Amino acid sequence: MRRSILLVVLVLVAGLAGCGVLDRNDEDDKLARLLDEGATVSVFLREDVTDAERVGVETRLKAVPDNTGVTYESKEQAYAKFKELWEKSNPEFLEKVEPGSLPESFRVQMTNMAALRKVKESPLEAEVKALPGVQDVIFPGCTTVDECKKKLAPSATP
């Protein structure tokens, strides 16, 4: 009798552990989908960018393999997003930033994170950074589920 109870408990524990693994895999799948949806490279323009340089940057970005769209954001649009983001949570910080002080930019939406990683690992990043009018190229802080988990995990402090 004890043996059968022990066996039932072991089966239940194994089943629950399996469910935990499935839940973790589901969480990983959800995170991977979110990453793919947010597979965007940001290209910030210099303060003194000319119209011709802006057009040249946009033309080059539209030729990036596996992009699904290139979106321009003006200084005014950038400030409106910034204001929306900080207005409620930190109005003091908002007061320190002047309208027009945020740079113009382009957002390059990629098909997924795998495509974004290819761009990041290729000479293309340096090529885009070297374009006249470009201030910086910014990739997401993490591009894989494991990278994101490591960044989000609480650091062990002694």
Model confidence over 42-83: pLDDT tens digits? 999 999 999 999 999 999 999 999 999 999 999 999 999 988
For 61, the token pair is 């970005």
* Strands (E) located in 46-112: 67-73, 105-110
Question: Using one digit for the tens of pLDDT, what is the confidence trace for 127-149?
Answer: 999 999 999 999 988 878 888 88
pTM of this prediction?
0.73
| Beta bridge partner(s), residue 145 | none
Judge whether 102 and 4 are in contact, CB under 8 Å. Answer: no
| Beta bridge partner(s), residue 136 | 44
CA distance 86 to 78: 12
